[in-house]
């Protein structure tokens, strides 16, 4: 293949990557809605919806945090272009998770909600994780990077690390017994954050 | 204006499920405020256990307690048998249905020991034979703040207790779940819970007419995931008190150490009475989500207020007269 042809093919891949990943990121949501229409959301639909959205929020947060380690490990620099999108999808699933909880479970009863946030430690922790992610979503646009300056923006966006830690703690705290699943997430998060520490040392 | 009042008999054809047929046949009034008819005895005979694991249907059931509230709709069989906490088969709600298929609930014997005049090992058929099986509908409130309504088949625990003649020194009754790690995958990990699962009642609680030993749901033998072949049901307590697949019954002087109390004593006590005023340290018990209608649109229903003793205060309240229920939770 000529250099020009190779370049053209690379451009197609380059241009195709983001839309393809975007569509993939929507799959869990589409499947959830489809299961809803099929009346297939377990005996406890509210719990099923909240858990599914929460699981995917955490998975996308870990995926966003995996971008930099993956780039360092493979030298595949293109992947960095996915980071913002993955982060925003994580935030989208967080918001849907939160909406399902406040709306479906609590019926937008904000007094009861406040008591719940105070009473249930795992919800307090979950809300804290949301509070850390909110400024990241707000400052995700290129204009905000310019406005804040790269160094400050990067500093701010390190809030994703404690948000990840809080999200995993949130998962641990809501469980009665049998900690295999959150343990898997905890290990993955530890590796992803550990890589960054090692790199800096 | 023509107002069409919907009667229970007006069910649309898609609503006629095997469950609704069962409930109608048994004369349950679905969704309506039914009356307690505790004394009614049909042509009931001695308890006979049909084929195990949901395969066989009971005959000649005595119509038992079925006092329900206006908004209490009996949960679907699918929900009752597909959404379970039975950690011996795994910790997620769908694990028991998926992992309990290889469990063998027959043949089954129960060891009875401790402070009673007639200890020994007894086959389940012989344990049940002297008694009359009843069907009863109870609300079921999980400590996790969800609830269902379940049509049980069982015998009054008090009658079973009497058959073993507890001594005057017996103050409590303890129950033990079977340990069979080869058939119960959850038991292969000691980190989930310490096995065997242990539960207990004060003897006067066990003798309360609402407490039953259940052997069936919806007129059929218990499915493995529901605690086949024999389990406790004390409807005024949180679900975890209702120990499943019972292989041992002991009469004791000391209060038994029930499993969840051992695991987390600040979260789970011995009594575990449903109580909207005493919160779990990690969540409120004031409200609950009613599940098991089989309709996803129930997701848009509001949570409901949890009733004291799960709505059985009139029946069981006197058992706890004068007790500080915030201390004895």
B146 to A47: CB separation less than 8 angstroms, yes or no = yes
If you average pLDDT over residues A19-28, what whole number do you get? Answer: 96
Q: Cα angle at A132 between A129 and A136, to 5 degrees?
A: 130
Q: How far is B81 from chain A (nearest CA, A)?
A: 10
Single out the residue of A196, A128, A195 nearest to residue A168, CA to CA: A128
Provide, as residue numbers in chain A, all residues whose Cβ is less than 8 Å from the Cβ of B76.
43
At B8 the pLDDT is: 44
Minimal Cβ distance to A42: which of B80, B83, B263: B83
The phi and psi torsions of B79 (rounded to 5 degrees) equal: -65, -45
Single out the residue of B63, B72, B54 nearest to residue B221, CA to CA: B54
Single out the residue of B201, B296, B180, B298 nearest to residue B247, CA to CA: B180
Residue B141 to residue B189: CA distance in whole angstroms: 27
Residue of A nearest to B301 (CA): A104
At B12 the pLDDT is: 53
| Long-range Cβ contacts of A46-51 (<8 Å, 24+ apart) | A46/A100, A46/A104, A46/A105, A46/B289, A46/B299, A47/B146, A47/B289, A47/B291, A49/A100, A49/A104, A49/B299, A50/A97, A50/A100, A50/A101, A50/A104, A50/A105
DSSP, collapsed to helix, strand or coil, labels residue B309 as helix
Minimal Cβ distance to B79: which of A43, A119, A176: A43
At B42 the pLDDT is: 40
Report DSSP state, residue B273. B
- Scan residues 167-196 of A and list those with Cβ closer than 8 Å to B: 173-180
Provide, as residue numbers in chain B, all residues whose Cβ is less than 8 Å from the Cβ of A41.
296, 299
At B43 the pLDDT is: 40
A121 to B282: CB separation less than 8 angstroms, yes or no = yes
- Scan residues 142-171 of A and list those with Cβ closer than 8 Å to B: none
Helices A160-173 and A45-74: crossing angle, nearest 10°?
140
Residue of B nearest to A122 (CA): B282
Minimal Cβ distance to A39: which of B93, B296, B300: B296
Contact with chain B for residue A42, Cβ under 8 A: yes
Residues near B138 by beta carbon (within 8 Å), at least 6 away in sequence:
B65, B149, B150, B152, B210, B233, B235
Contact with chain B for residue A120, Cβ under 8 A: yes
Provide, as residue numbers in chain B, all residues whose Cβ is less than 8 Å from the Cβ of A112.
287
Average pLDDT over all residues of chain A:
92
Contact B124, B246 (CB under 8 A): no
Percent helix, strand, coil in chain B (nearest 5)?
A: 25, 20, 55
Contact with chain B for residue A115, Cβ under 8 A: yes
Residue A144: both structure tokens together: 């905000």
Helices A83-99 and A121-138: crossing angle, nearest 10°?
140
Contact with chain A for residue B298, Cβ under 8 A: yes
Contact B153, B44 (CB under 8 A): no
For residue range A115-129, list pLDDT tens digits in order.
888 878 889 999 999
Provide, as residue numbers in chain B, all residues whose Cβ is less than 8 Å from the Cβ of A173.
282
Residue B221 to residue B231: CA distance in whole angstroms: 11
ipTM greater than 0.90, yes or no? no
Q: How far is A115 from chain B (nearest CA, A)?
A: 9
Minimal Cβ distance to B292: which of A39, A43, A176: A43
For residue range A166-186, list pLDDT tens digits in order.
999 999 998 877 788 899 999
Contact B187, B195 (CB under 8 A): yes
> In this complex, how many residue pairs, one in chain A and one in chain B, have their CB atoms less than 8 Å apart?
77
For β-strands B212-217 and B220-221, DSSP reports them as: antiparallel
Tens of pLDDT, residue by residue, chain B (329 residues): 455 544 444 455 555 677 877 877 776 544 443 443 333 334 445 667 776 677 678 888 999 998 899 899 999 999 999 999 999 999 999 999 999 999 999 999 999 999 999 999 999 999 999 999 999 999 999 999 999 999 999 999 999 999 999 999 999 999 999 999 999 999 998 788 999 999 999 999 999 999 999 999 999 999 999 999 999 999 999 999 999 999 999 999 999 999 999 999 999 999 999 999 999 988 889 999 999 999 999 999 999 999 999 999 999 999 999 999 999 99
Minimal Cβ distance to A104: which of B287, B294, B299: B299
Give the CA distances from residue B224 to residues A68, B105, B153, B227, B228, in Å, rounded to whole numbers and listed in that order: 48, 7, 15, 5, 5
Report DSSP state, residue B60. S
Higher pLDDT, B142 or A199: B142
Provide, as residue numbers in chain B, all residues whose Cβ is less than 8 Å from the Cβ of A36.
296
- The model's confidence at residue A3, banded by pLDDT at 50, 70 and 90, is confident
Contact with chain A for residue B190, Cβ under 8 A: no
Contact with chain B for residue A55, Cβ under 8 A: no
Q: Cα angle at A42 between A37 and A47, to 5 degrees?
A: 100
For residue range A134-173, list pLDDT tens digits in order.
999 999 999 999 999 989 999 999 999 999 999 999 999 9
Domains identified in chain B and CATH numbers: 13-320 (3.90.420.10)
């Amino acid at each position: 293949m000529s250099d020009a042809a190779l370049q053209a093919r690379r451009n197609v891949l380059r241009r195709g990557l983001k839309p393809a990943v975007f569509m993939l990121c929507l799959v869990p949501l589409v499947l959830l809605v489809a299961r809803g229409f099929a009346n297939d959301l377990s005996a406890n639909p509210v719990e099923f919806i909240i858990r599914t959205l929460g699981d995917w929020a955490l998975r996308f947060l870990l995926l966003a945090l995996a971008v930099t380690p993956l780039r360092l490990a493979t030298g595949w620099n293109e992947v960095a272009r996915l980071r913002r999108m993955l982060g925003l999808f994580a935030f989208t699933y967080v918001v849907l998770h939160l909406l399902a909880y406040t709306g479906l479970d609590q019926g937008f009863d904000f007094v009861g909600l406040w008591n719940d946030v105070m009473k249930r430690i795992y919800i307090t922790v979950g809300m804290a994780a949301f509070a850390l992610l909110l400024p990241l979503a707000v400052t995700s646009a290129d204009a905000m990077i310019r406005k804040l300056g790269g160094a400050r923006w990067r500093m701010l966006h390190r809030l994703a690390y404690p948000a990840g830690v809080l999200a995993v703690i949130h998962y641990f705290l809501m469980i009665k017994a049998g900690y295999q699943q959150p343990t898997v997430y905890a290990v993955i998060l530890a590796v992803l954050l550990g890589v960054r520490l090692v790199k800096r040392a | 204006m023509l107002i069409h009042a919907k009667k229970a008999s007006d069910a649309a054809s898609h609503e006629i499920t095997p469950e609704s047929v069962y409930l109608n046949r048994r004369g349950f009034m679905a969704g309506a405020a039914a009356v307690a008819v505790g004394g009614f005895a049909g042509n009931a005979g001695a308890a006979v256990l049909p084929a195990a694991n949901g395969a066989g249907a009971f005959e000649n059931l005595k119509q038992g307690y079925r006092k329900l509230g206006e908004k209490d709709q009996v949960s679907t069989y699918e929900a009752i048998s597909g959404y379970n906490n039975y950690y011996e088969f795994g910790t997620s709600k769908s694990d028991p249905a998926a992992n309990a298929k290889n469990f063998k609930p027959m043949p089954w014997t129960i060891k009875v020991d401790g402070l009673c005049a007639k200890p020994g090992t007894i086959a389940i058929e012989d344990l049940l034979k002297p008694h009359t099986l009843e069907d009863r509908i109870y609300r079921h409130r999980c400590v996790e703040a969800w609830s269902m309504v379940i049509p049980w088949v069982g015998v009054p625990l008090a009658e079973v207790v009497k058959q073993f003649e507890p001594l005057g020194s017996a103050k409590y009754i303890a129950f033990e779940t079977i340990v069979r790690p080869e058939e119960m995958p959850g038991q292969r990990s000691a980190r989930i819970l310490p096995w065997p699962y242990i539960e207990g009642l004060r003897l006067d609680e066990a003798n309360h007419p609402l407490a039953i030993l259940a052997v069936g749901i919806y007129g059929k033998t218990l499915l493995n995931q529901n605690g086949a072949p024999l389990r406790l049901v004390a409807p005024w307590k949180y679900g975890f008190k209702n120990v499943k697949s019972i292989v041992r019954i002991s009469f004791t002087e000391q209060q038994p150490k029930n499993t969840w109390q051992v695991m987390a004593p600040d979260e789970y006590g011995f009594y575990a009475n449903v109580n909207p005023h005493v919160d779990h340290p990690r969540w409120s018990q004031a409200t609950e989500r009613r599940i098991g209608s089989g309709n996803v649109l129930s997701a848009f229903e509001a949570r409901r207020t949890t009733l004291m003793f799960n709505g059985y205060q009139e029946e069981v309240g006197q058992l706890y007269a004068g007790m500080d229920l915030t201390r004895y939770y």
